[in-house]
């Protein structure tokens, strides 16, 4: 309580000081501008509310007033008190810019001019003949602007006509405009006319009119027809260049795939070009196979020019991953007989073909493990002269725990991974013609990892994946893996682990050999406009394994049938991840995530493979619970579970997170969050009935809440979250809410319940 009183006294001192001190800093004859008061008197026929009209007029009110708190200009006071800094990047400049604000003086305000701007603003919205007047009133060393607006009804569009509609271009514009922004019956708005001009320009550029410009479209409004209506006349300017009125076709397409920006400039003549499916390619050093460009360039000579084809080709060339810089140029054919044709030139600067990168990572996990991993990555961006990306990765790492109960459960891993990425859809014996904005990707991956859990067992993990990535648009992406194989072969069981399995036989699932042969499909969608007030993200996936093998073999019981001498996993798994972000005032953000996961092992499997199980808790999940310390269901994992099981997971997952992100200063921001969720199992094999999904599963939802800090360093975002549990599902039913046990003054309570999560990036 004393702290709050002290803070309140300090605030009052600042406010009193600002009220007494600002006036003496003002130049002679000047006053502080307090802002504007806008009064709206509207005609009875105006449908829009006075409040909405006032908000629109505020957009034309320049400049805005000084910042006040409890009637005092505290920011201006700080500006004057801190004073002029000697260095623009010094400490004084930092505090002056963060705490203070330069004064807005009465001499900067011209109410008559601002009133004219407001009146013009209303006319641009169709409120013709409305009148706005402005004046100022003074009170001590402050001044305020007073504006009165008399608003008449908004005019609506009665007719839309095109002039000179005999021209082919005008006919095309007229036909497309009928489906556009300007419609009969809509209110007149200048912004709609401007947006429609831009829309029509984009359209005709897809129909061959390369040299057209939106400024060539003129609009006239006749507001004298009465009844608060206007006739709108659209036309093409009379003095536009003749070349802008004609449709162009492609004459030649030339590519220079070894272009460089270094001096002397490279030879870009037509000498030595090779014709590949209508494309002229000049690759004198034979760096690329010519059929690469056949797939990347989406149009050919003789086709009508289209900005869509142009943008698609540029985007495909830039996203293929082989070229560092891409630019193109269009020029009209000089031959008089081909006056309306274009030659197209693409200048492609290759990126460095081969590179080696070494990465050293350090990390700490929610399960009290710390570790490090060293990896060496080698890339070849043009392996077979067709923009194929060959990547090889060699890595090794360790995870150590300093917790007494987990010291003997350290993990070590070493692995090798190689992948080949092809810039197209590759299916043997099948040709797929596509001209999407983004080039598709086909990836073939093989990998091996040796995983050692100290004093317990070893696992040999082999992987083979064959998948396709298709980016349908900037905000929609498909990923399909028709073949995803994982083979797990455990070994080197120690006597310590064998003795533990005698006491608890279910531990043997850690050392089961298993073959996972499946297919995976996922779809991702997000809001295309990153500046939209409401942002949506959706990811859905389906993962199925062992179904064909199970159907052929007729498996009915767990691990009954084998494939190549190894029991195969059989399951169906579906996941949904939905996120919603709403941008609030003052750069606040309200972010939410909802996750549902359902995995159903059946016939030849009674549990999901460990790599497919759902886990919960930790820095990106329930931040008031540590990973491996909660669930499944009402089960409380023991120290032996944490020590011996590779994963403490489940077959089902339900989770919801809500977070309010709060800007603080510069790159530092805060957050307040609440997390809900849990996982459950289908079978009782590992964690008994306590972990099994029940009809009243909602009673086993865990709840956590907390606060956090984020520091945005540009390339990375460092996050620290402090979470506490509010509802613990492993307590007896009826006693799971633990509000009454919260006691920050108790050292033991803080030790058990204050969970600090340190991570990189946002949790979702």
pLDDT 10s digits, 113-154:
999 999 999 999 999 999 999 999 998 889 999 999 999 999
Name 263's Cβ contacts closer than 8 Å, sequence gap at least 6. none
209, part of any domain: yes
Name 517's Cβ contacts closer than 8 Å, sequence gap at least 6. 483, 484, 485, 545, 546, 549, 563, 568, 569
- What is the Cα–Cα distance from 661 to 589, expressed in whole angstroms? 5
Q: Give pLDDT tens digits for 165-190.
A: 678 999 999 999 988 999 999 999 99
Which of 117, 118, 6, 106 minimizes the C-alpha distance to 57?
118
pLDDT band at 2 (very low <50, low <70, confident <90, very high): very low
Residue 346 and residue 259 in one domain:
yes
* Residue 56: Cβ within 10 Å count: 19
Residue 129 and residue 113 in one domain:
yes
Q: Is the pLDDT of residue 15 over 50?
A: no
- What is the Cα–Cα distance from 69 to 382, expressed in whole angstroms? 63
Token pair of 531 as six digits = 């500046």
pLDDT band at 484 (very low <50, low <70, confident <90, very high): very high
Whether the CB-CB separation of 397 and 413 falls below 8 Å is answered with: yes
Q: Is the pLDDT of residue 681 over 50?
A: yes
Range of the domain at 175: 156-245
Domain boundary among 223, 245, 267: 245
Instruction: Please tell me the total number of residues recorded for the chain in this structure.
Output: 764
Residue 238 and residue 300 in one domain:
no
- Whole-number pLDDT of residue 402: 64
Residue 184 and residue 134 in one domain:
no
Q: Is the pLDDT of residue 18 over 70?
A: no
Residue 312 and residue 334 in one domain:
yes
Looking at per-residue pLDDT, the higher value among 530 and 233 belongs to 233
Least confident of 11-15, 461-465, 743-747: 11-15
Q: What is the average pLDDT value for the chain, to the nearest integer?
A: 90
Q: Give pLDDT tens digits for 572-593.
A: 999 999 999 999 988 899 999 9
Residue 102 and residue 183 in one domain:
no
Residue 69 and residue 130 in one domain:
yes
Residue 262 and residue 238 in one domain:
no
Q: Is the pLDDT of residue 446 over 70?
A: yes
- What is the Cα–Cα distance from 716 to 731, expressed in whole angstroms? 39
At 711, phi and psi to the nearest 5? -120, 115
- What is the Cα–Cα distance from 417 to 242, expressed in whole angstroms? 60
Share of the chain above pLDDT 90, in %: 66
Q: Is the pLDDT of residue 11 over 60?
A: no
- Whole-number pLDDT of residue 468: 94
Cα–Cα distances (Å) from 648 to 238, 505, 654, 660, 692, in that order, read: 75, 16, 16, 30, 13
Q: Give the strands of the sheet with 249-256, arranged side by side.
A: 274-276, 279-281, 249-256, 341-350, 323-332
Q: Is the pLDDT of residue 733 over 60?
A: yes
- Whole-number pLDDT of residue 254: 95
Q: For strands 229-236 and 156-162, give the pairing.
A: parallel
pLDDT band at 9 (very low <50, low <70, confident <90, very high): very low
3-state DSSP assignment of residue 326: strand
715, part of any domain: no
- What is the Cα–Cα distance from 192 to 221, expressed in whole angstroms? 13
Highest mean pLDDT among 322-336, 402-416, 665-679: 665-679
3-state DSSP assignment of residue 203: helix
Domain boundary among 151, 183, 202: 151
Cα–Cα distances (Å) from 696 to 439, 597, 680, 701, in that order, read: 48, 18, 12, 10
What domain count does the chain have? 3
Cα–Cα distances (Å) from 99 to 15, 63, 73, 276, 527, in that order, read: 13, 20, 12, 64, 36
At 10, phi and psi to the nearest 5? -60, -40
The model's pTM: 0.81
Residue 229 and residue 345 in one domain:
no
Measured in whole angstroms, the distance separating CA 313 from the mean position of its chain's CA atoms is 24
DSSP letter assigned to residue 84: -
Q: Is the pLDDT of residue 1 over 50?
A: no
Looking at per-residue pLDDT, the higher value among 702 and 641 belongs to 702
Residue 123 and residue 166 in one domain:
no
Name 88's Cβ contacts closer than 8 Å, sequence gap at least 6. none
Residue 213 and residue 113 in one domain:
no
Residue 503, Cβ density class (10 Å: 0-12 exposed, 13-18 middle, ≥19 buried): exposed
- Whole-number pLDDT of residue 336: 64
685, part of any domain: no
Domain boundary among 99, 130, 151: 151
Looking at per-residue pLDDT, the higher value among 361 and 113 belongs to 113
Q: Is the pLDDT of residue 677 over 90?
A: yes
- Whole-number pLDDT of residue 347: 94
- Whole-number pLDDT of residue 499: 87
Q: Please, what's the largest Cα pairwise distance for the chain?
A: 98
Q: Which residue has the tokens 């007719």?
A: 159
Residue 204 and residue 134 in one domain:
no
3-state DSSP assignment of residue 377: strand
Q: Give pLDDT tens digits for 58-110.
A: 999 988 888 887 778 888 988 988 888 888 888 888 888 888 889 999 999 99
Element at 489 (helix H, strand E): strand 476-491
Token pair of 372 as six digits = 């490090």
* Residue 594: Cβ within 10 Å count: 16
Helix residue ranges per DSSP H, 59-103: 74-82, 91-99
- Rounded mean pLDDT of 152-161? 95
Q: Is the pLDDT of residue 518 over 80?
A: yes
- What is the Cα–Cα distance from 653 to 677, expressed in whole angstroms? 8
């Amino acid at each position: 309580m004393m702290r709050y009183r002290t803070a309140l006294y300090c605030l009052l001192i600042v406010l009193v000081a600002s009220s007494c001190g600002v006036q003496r800093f003002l130049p002679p004859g000047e006053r502080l501008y307090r802002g504007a008061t806008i009064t709206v008197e509207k005609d009875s026929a105006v449908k829009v509310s006075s409040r909405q009209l006032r908000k629109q007029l505020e957009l034309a009110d320049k400049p805005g007033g000084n910042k006040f708190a409890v009637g005092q200009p505290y920011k201006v006071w700080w500006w004057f008190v801190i004073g002029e800094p000697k260095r623009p990047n010094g400490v004084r400049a930092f505090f002056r810019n963060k705490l203070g604000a330069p004064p807005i003086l009465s001499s900067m305000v011209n109410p008559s001019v601002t009133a004219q701007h407001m009146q013009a603003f209303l006319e641009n919205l169709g409120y013709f003949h409305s009148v706005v007047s402005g004046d100022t009133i003074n009170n001590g060393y402050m001044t305020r602007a007073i504006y009165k607006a008399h608003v008449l009804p908004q005019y609506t569009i009665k007719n839309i006509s095109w002039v000179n509609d005999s021209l082919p271009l005008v006919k095309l514009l007229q036909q497309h405009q009928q489906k556009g922004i300007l419609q009969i019956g809509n209110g007149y708005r200048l912004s709609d006319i401007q947006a429609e001009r831009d829309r029509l320009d984009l359209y005709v550029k897809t129909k061959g009119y390369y040299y057209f410009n939106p400024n060539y479209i003129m609009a006239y409004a006749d507001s004298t027809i009465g009844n608060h209506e206007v006739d709108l006349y659209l036309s093409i300017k009379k003095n536009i260049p003749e070349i802008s009125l004609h449709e162009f076709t492609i004459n030649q397409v030339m590519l220079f795939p070894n272009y460089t920006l270094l001096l002397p400039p490279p030879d870009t003549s037509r000498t030595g070009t090779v014709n590949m499916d209508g494309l002229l390619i000049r690759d004198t050093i034979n760096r690329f196979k010519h059929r690469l460009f056949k797939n990347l360039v989406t149009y050919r000579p003789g086709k009508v020019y289209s900005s869509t084809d142009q943008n698609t080709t540029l985007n495909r060339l830039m996203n293929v991953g082989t070229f560092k810089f891409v630019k193109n140029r269009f020029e009209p054919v000089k031959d008089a007989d081909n006056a309306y044709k274009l030659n197209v030139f693409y200048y492609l600067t290759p990126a460095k073909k081969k590179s080696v990168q070494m990465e050293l990572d350090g990390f700490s996990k929610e399960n009290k493990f710390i570790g490090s991993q060293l990896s060496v990555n080698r890339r070849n961006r043009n392996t077979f002269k067709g923009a194929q990306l060959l990547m090889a990765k060699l890595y090794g790492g360790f995870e150590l725990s300093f917790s007494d109960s987990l010291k003997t459960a350290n993990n070590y891993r070493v692995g090798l991974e190689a992948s080949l990425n092809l810039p197209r859809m590759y299916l043997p014996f099948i040709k797929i013609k596509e001209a999407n904005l983004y080039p598709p990707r086909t990836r073939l991956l093989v990998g091996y990892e040796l995983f050692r859990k100290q004093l317990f067992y070893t696992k040999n993990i082999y992987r083979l994946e064959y998948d396709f990535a298709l980016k349908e648009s900037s905000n929609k992406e498909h990923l399909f893996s028709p073949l995803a194989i994982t083979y797990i072969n455990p070994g080197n069981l120690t006597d310590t682990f064998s003795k533990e399995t005698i006491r608890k036989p279910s531990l043997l699932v850690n050392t089961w050999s298993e073959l996972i042969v499946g297919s995976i499909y996922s779809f991702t969608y997000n809001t295309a406009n990153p500046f939209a007030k409401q942002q949506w993200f959706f990811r859905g996936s389906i993962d199925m394994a062992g179904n064909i093998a199970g159907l052929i073999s007729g498996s009915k019981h767990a691990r009954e049938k084998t494939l190549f001498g190894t029991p195969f996993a059989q399951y169906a798994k579906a996941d949904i991840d939905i996120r919603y972000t709403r941008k609030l005032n003052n750069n606040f953000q309200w972010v939410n995530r909802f996750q549902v996961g359902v995995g159903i092992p059946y016939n030849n499997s009674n549990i999901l493979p460990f790599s497919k199980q759902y886990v919960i808790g930790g820095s990106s999940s329930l931040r008031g619970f540590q990973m491996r310390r909660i669930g499944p269901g009402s089960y409380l994992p023991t120290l032996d579970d944490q020590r011996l099981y590779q994963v403490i997971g489940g077959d089902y997952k339900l989770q919801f997170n809500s977070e309010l992100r709060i800007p603080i200063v510069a790159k530092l921001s805060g957050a307040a969050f609440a997390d809900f969720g849990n996982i459950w199992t289908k079978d009782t094999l590992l964690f008994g009935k306590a972990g099994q999904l029940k009809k009243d599963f909602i009673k086993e939802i865990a709840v956590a809440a907390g606060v956090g800090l984020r520091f945005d360093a540009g390339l990375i975002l460092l996050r620290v979250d402090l979470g506490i549990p509010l509802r613990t599902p492993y307590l007896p039913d009826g006693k799971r809410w633990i509000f009454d046990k919260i006691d920050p003054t108790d050292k033991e309570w803080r030790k058990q319940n204050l969970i600090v999560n340190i991570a990189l990036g946002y949790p979702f």
